[in-house]
Chain A
Amino acid sequence: MFDKVLIANRGEIALRIHRACQEMGIQTVAVHSTADADAMHVRLADESVCIGPAPASESYLNMAAVISAAIITNADAIHPGYGFLSENAKFAQMVTEHGFTFIGPAADHIRAMGDKIAAKETMRRAGVPLVPGSDGSITDLKEAAKVAEKTGFPVLIKAAAGGGGRGMKVAQSADELEHAFSTARAEAKAAFGNDEVYMEKYLTHPRHIEMQILADSQGNVVHLGERDCSLQRRHQKVLEEAPSPCLNPAERARIGKVAIDAIKSMSYLGAGTLEFLYQDGEFYFIEMNTRLQVEHPVTEMISGIDIVREQIRIASGLPLSFKQEDVKFNGHAIECRVTAENPDTFMPTPGRVRDYHPPGGLGVRVDSALYAGYRIPPNYDSLIAKLVVHGQSRNECLMRLKRALKEFVIDGVETTIPLHQRLIAAPDFINGHYDIHWLERFCGLKN
């Protein structure tokens, strides 16, 4: 087991990783930018190293600085969290080359899943159902028209180097195809330095359902059930729940087996999430994330399994401490992502938190790096807290969530707590009837 782990991230996830390490008796090193010198996890970590000025490109994304910090503190392993360098194959490789363990999959797998076209091909060969569309990239408009004809409109043009909802353009009909195709390529080039695009059928009312998997170095692979992350705004998840209100045990077992078989065929290592679109009873693979996800707590609440601990164990060479048949799901969990944004306009509102009082009680968990007096820096994303609630049933969970949101005090900045309160009162949400377009319609109606 590692003696010392360097946490190459910030905010709530850095605190999450620190907590898992502490519970395992592992020393922690917090690397931080100048803007995060007073961050909660920096104060709590055993050691801290300032690695650069506020801009992420010069600090959290600065591979040399992160690795230098690992060298001077004699860390054994580096946990990249999510975002930042967590899916950077070059970083994973550098970490390994310098003699540290990267807590995550091999660089090759990160690379393979980072190329969205290659990822689909890998999954296709492993028997995973895909969204119908092009076989690989589309190089010219003529080919685009042919594939669109075969697939049927509406279609979605997606950047091969994109992912996470970025670099996508819809063409509702043949008239819109040329514009969508050329814009998608231009934007992909600008955003990712690569204008390679592919095409998929645009599903009109899918849900976003993702499968959490864990794979150890001895070939054992398990799934920890699904998460329903359909409530999104501009492709950013706002609320997630587990299990999905629309899946039955048979469907869960079916897609779980599909995911496990695919991962087994890859000799993958660590935690990963396969994302699907689910519509009319069918699953369609869209992409795989080779890292810890923001919404991992809902899976932890219903399974009782500490996913970060498992990541660390797996990375240190230990086998999974349980088998698939040991995984039992209990009750229901919902996570609300609380961001420092205006709840109506979504304008970011960084600033000083005057008062902070998180809710408590049975089945209430708050993952947050906030404290009274903390100054939220403007340089990073706006996620400031994750309120995760568990109940014996979805109804109990909803009641508890309503109660917890009412208790939650974050004073001094605007937050999306009021949005969550409105959203969980909506009849569609209460009945579990929503798809990936629902939240934007709900917010649009509100305005």
Chain B
Amino acid sequence: MARLSVDEDLVRHLARLLEETGLTELEYDTGKVRVRVSRGGGAQMVVSAPLVAAAATPSITAPTAEASATHPGAVTAPMVGTIYIAPEPGAAAFVKVGDRVNEGQILFIIEAMKTMNPIRAPRAGTVTQIFAANAQPVEYGEVLLILE
């Protein structure tokens, strides 16, 4: 099941940067993936595998949320379960991007083993990003939204 994914957009982006800046070589390294593009011969993709042969397994966390895990305003799931963004099906969502919320205000509900658990804002602030999708599974520590 291990598969190293090729990020096409990244390569195109780097190639365009190369073009625009007039550089002859550009290398992009995140520690997990390294891509080098150079002139004369087109883009060259060098993907270095992580230390372990096994690629990371697909976790149920959405990729965009991972980058925000260390954001100071990140509100994370305190439990495993299914997340709901509205009090009941068809009702308006608890919060949307741009809303100002008070401390203790309900942001989501996580259902775990048939009990509904309200997830409340840890402090007052403005919702700048929402990652949680309705009726999706969430794991402990998963970033649900950013409160600034």
- Measured CB to CB, the residues of A under 8 A from B are 30, 34, 40, 42-53, 59, 64-65, 67-69, 71-73, 98, 371-373
Q: Which of B52, B58, B81, B139 contacts A50 (CB 8 A)?
A: B139
* Minimum C-beta distance from B110 to chain A (A): 9
B80 — nearest CB in chain A belongs to which residue? A68
With A30-B57, A34-B141, A59-B140 already in contact, 4 other A-B pairs whose C-beta atoms are closer than 8 Å: A40-B52, A47-B58, A49-B60, A73-B137
Most buried by A among B1, B60, B139: B139
Query: B50-63 interface mask toward A, CB cutoff 8 Å, 1 = contact, 0 = none?
Result: 01101111111000
Q: Residues of B contacting A47 with CB < 8 Å?
A: 57-60
In the bound assembly, the distance between CA atoms of A357 and B114 in angstroms comes to 47
A371 — nearest CB in chain B belongs to which residue? B52
Most buried by B among A67, A68, A372: A68
Q: Which of A34, A53, A373 contacts B52 (CB 8 A)?
A: A373
Q: Is B81's CB under 8 angstroms from A52's CB?
A: no
B112 sits at the interface (CB 8 A): yes
B51 — nearest CB in chain A belongs to which residue? A373
In the bound assembly, the distance between CA atoms of A49 and B55 in angstroms comes to 16
Q: Is A34's CB under 8 angstroms from B56's CB?
A: no
* Minimum C-beta distance from B82 to chain A (A): 6
* Minimum C-beta distance from A44 to chain B (A): 5
B113 sits at the interface (CB 8 A): yes
Q: Is A50's CB under 8 angstroms from B57's CB?
A: no
Q: Residues of B contacting A67 with CB < 8 Å?
A: 113
Q: Residues of A contacting B80 with CB < 8 Å?
A: 49-52, 65, 68-69, 72
In the bound assembly, the distance between CA atoms of A71 and B81 in angstroms comes to 8
Q: Is A50's CB under 8 angstroms from B1's CB?
A: no
Q: Residues of B contacting A372 with CB < 8 Å?
A: 51
Q: Which of A34, A42, A43, A44 contacts B140 (CB 8 A)?
A: A34
In the bound assembly, the distance between CA atoms of A213 and B24 in angstroms comes to 68
| 30 pairs, CB–CB < 8 Å, chain A vs chain B | A30-B57, A34-B140, A43-B56, A47-B60, A48-B57, A48-B60, A49-B59, A49-B140, A50-B80, A50-B139, A50-B141, A51-B139, A51-B140, A52-B80, A64-B79, A64-B112, A65-B140, A68-B80, A68-B81, A68-B112, A68-B113, A69-B80, A71-B82, A71-B113, A72-B60, A72-B81, A73-B137, A371-B51, A371-B52, A372-B51
In the bound assembly, the distance between CA atoms of A115 and B55 in angstroms comes to 44
In the bound assembly, the distance between CA atoms of A65 and B54 in angstroms comes to 26
B136 — nearest CB in chain A belongs to which residue? A72
Q: Is B139's CB under 8 angstroms from A49's CB?
A: yes
* Minimum C-beta distance from A377 to chain B (A): 15
In the bound assembly, the distance between CA atoms of A37 and B80 in angstroms comes to 15
Chain B binding surface, main DSSP class: loop
* Minimum C-beta distance from A249 to chain B (A): 44
Interface residues of B in 71-99 (CB under 8 A from A): 79-82
Q: Is B52's CB under 8 angstroms from A43's CB?
A: yes
In the bound assembly, the distance between CA atoms of A352 and B87 in angstroms comes to 45
Q: Is A50's CB under 8 angstroms from B79's CB?
A: no
* Minimum C-beta distance from A59 to chain B (A): 8
Q: Is B55's CB under 8 angstroms from A43's CB?
A: yes
In the bound assembly, the distance between CA atoms of A45 and B57 in angstroms comes to 6
Q: Residues of A contacting B55 with CB < 8 Å?
A: 43
In the bound assembly, the distance between CA atoms of A59 and B78 in angstroms comes to 11
Q: Which of A44, A49, A68 contacts B54 (CB 8 A)?
A: A44
Q: Residues of B contacting A64 with CB < 8 Å?
A: 79, 112-113
Q: Is B51's CB under 8 angstroms from A52's CB?
A: no
Q: Is B57's CB under 8 angstroms from A65's CB?
A: no
In the bound assembly, the distance between CA atoms of A71 and B114 in angstroms comes to 10
In the bound assembly, the distance between CA atoms of A37 and B142 in angstroms comes to 12
Interface residues of B in 99-148 (CB under 8 A from A): 112-113, 137-142
Q: Residues of B contacting A44 with CB < 8 Å?
A: 54, 57
Q: Residues of A contacting B57 with CB < 8 Å?
A: 30, 42-48
In the bound assembly, the distance between CA atoms of A72 and B141 in angstroms comes to 16
* Minimum C-beta distance from B32 to chain A (A): 12
* Minimum C-beta distance from A262 to chain B (A): 37
B61 — nearest CB in chain A belongs to which residue? A50
* Minimum C-beta distance from A94 to chain B (A): 9
Q: Residues of A contacting B52 with CB < 8 Å?
A: 40, 43, 371, 373
Q: Is A40's CB under 8 angstroms from B54's CB?
A: yes
Q: Which of A45, A51, A72 contacts B82 (CB 8 A)?
A: A72
In the bound assembly, the distance between CA atoms of A256 and B54 in angstroms comes to 42
> 8 tightest A-B contacts by CB?
A72-B137, A68-B80, A373-B51, A50-B139, A43-B54, A68-B112, A50-B140, A49-B139
Q: Residues of B contacting A69 with CB < 8 Å?
A: 80, 139
Most buried by A among B55, B57, B140: B140
Q: Residues of B contacting A48 with CB < 8 Å?
A: 57, 59-60
With A65-B79, A68-B80, A72-B137 as contacts: A50 and B54 at CB distance below 8 Å: no
* Minimum C-beta distance from B60 to chain A (A): 6
